[in-house]
Amino acid sequence: MEPIIPLFSIPVALSALAALLLIARARGAKVLGWLVLIGMWINLILAIKLLAPVFTGSVSGYDTNQVLASGFKIDGPAALFILLTSLVSATVLSHARLFFRREREGNEELDDSALTVYYLFSLLFHISMIAVFICDNLGYLWISIEATTLMSAALVYFNRDKHALEAAWKYLIICSVGIAFALFGTVCFYISSKYGAVPGGSLSLSQLAEVAPHLEPTYVRLAFILCFLGYGTKAGLFPLHSWLPDAYSEAPAPASAMIAGALLNCALFAIFRIYQVAYCLDNHAFYQELVLWSGTITVVAASVFLVRQHGIKRLWGYSSIENAGLLLVAIGLNSTPIFLLHAVNHSIAKVALFLLSGDIIQHAGSKELSQIKGIWTSMPVRSTLFAAAAIAVTGAPPFGAFISEWLLLTGCVSQGRWLLAVLLVLAISLAFIMIAFHTGRILGGGAPKEKATEPEHAGFNGIVPGALLIAALALGITTGPLVLGWLQ
């Protein structure tokens, strides 16, 4: 387990410091914010250095399927998601310092204690998400996913008003019920292995994949369905999505960005892992059809929901549901490269979009779309970035999501799934039209005179989203095809 310790050491140390500040009731949120900012970027650099051998091959005992300890390992997909999650956390927590500095100007109740709580649970949230990706045991995977729910619920409840309470309660109840189904599914996986495949049973994902043809078929089918329902609830798949728009809307913008850019990947990664086991079964067609059609229906439903939306962050919540469906289709096609590439593209663009939306909400004083007008006139710098981020999440060229969505559609066609391809094209087109429509309404129109110029620190607020959008553009123009070829 020693090689993975650096991935946790800095976040654990910072969360311990935040906890001590809370216990001592000390005023140190500003210093803590700087320490978290610096620490999480150092953590990202350490993660790159630590996980580089997983991508390049055997170096100092590493290989592309690195076993850390019993029940834990890191392979290529896990390493990529760890790096992506570390990047999301570093960028979000960097922007959070600027976001909350302005938030405190208009909210006297937002004291050092509240900000320390935010940093504490953001760090614990990051730790629990990283744990998801190193699990090679279904039991550990379930515990890690449940931990992400508990840690992120505190972020949803950050504003501590009745709307935040309702959103956090709905999030906890619905996701906990879903996770309970996943627990039953985990037990069924154990039973399916115990009778015939592995003497004494096993929860090891690697071992289950190896002995998949010998698993007891009735129990393994029940296990997959239950786990799929459970983790699908956490991913916000239709019709299990009702918690997601509320949670995204009520959490502060940096927390919404972490949930959309990183938590979504955790639930889909869990589905990806159990699907790898199911695909090794002799009768895997049932599981493939279930995943493909669930993903397609989710994309179609989310696109329809985008037609009438009243809140800016709820709008992006349904956009995340649409992209969760696309990622599920990539899993169903058994195309790991497309799944990984689209996850990276979506996370980068969606984090930028939520951070910019938070700045717009602060500027307009409302998150209702009807109250947000003329932003391009009053916030020219961040409005330009906002427009670019909105284009990026729709999968329009030249951003990276265009490549992954195009490959997804060609993958459906190459497998003869023409109906799925047609439904996806129609749904993606509708989503693009509605996002363009809502974005146009936000940017256009007249602006109040008192909000005719951006604040002095507007340029600093745009640094993180701007850098993320440059990365999304680079994936689309130059490195997208190279990344895909390398992953294959």
- Closest listed residue to residue 75, CA positions, set 439, 340, 349: 340
Exposure of 32 in the CB half-sphere (CA atoms within 13 A):
28
Question: How confident is the model at residue 351, as a pLDDT?
Answer: 92
Question: How confident is the model at residue 64, as a pLDDT?
Answer: 44
Gap between the Cα atoms of 462 and 90, Å rounded:
15
Question: How confident is the model at residue 331, as a pLDDT?
Answer: 92
Question: How confident is the model at residue 313, as a pLDDT?
Answer: 85
- Closest listed residue to residue 385, CA positions, set 322, 443, 344: 443
Q: Exposed, middle or buried, 211 (CB in 10 Å: 0-12/13-18/19+)?
A: middle
Question: How confident is the model at residue 21, as a pLDDT?
Answer: 82
Gap between the Cα atoms of 248 and 253, Å rounded:
8
Gap between the Cα atoms of 452 and 374, Å rounded:
9
The b/e string for 244-265 (b: 16+ C-beta within 10 A; e otherwise) is: bbbbbbbbbbbbbbbbbbbbbb
Place of tokens 């047609």: 422
> Are 360 and 381 within 8 A, CB to CB?
no
Helix (H, G, I), strand (E, B) or coil at 159: coil
Q: What is the DSSP letter of 90?
A: H
| HEC readout, 345-407 | HHHHHHHHHHHHHHHHHHHHCCCEHHHCCCHHHHCHHHHHHHHHHHHHHCCCCCCHHHHHHHH
Quick check: bond before 455 cis, omega within 30?
Answer: no
> What residue ranges do the domains of the chain occupy?
293-488
Place of tokens 């311990």: 16
Question: How confident is the model at residue 65, as a pLDDT?
Answer: 52
Question: How confident is the model at residue 57, as a pLDDT?
Answer: 63
pLDDT mean for each 10 residues of the chain (488 residues): 71 88 76 87 89 66 50 85 92 86 70 84 92 90 91 86 85 88 90 76 82 82 91 87 83 89 91 88 84 92 87 87 92 88 90 88 78 77 85 85 86 87 91 88 64 51 82 76 50
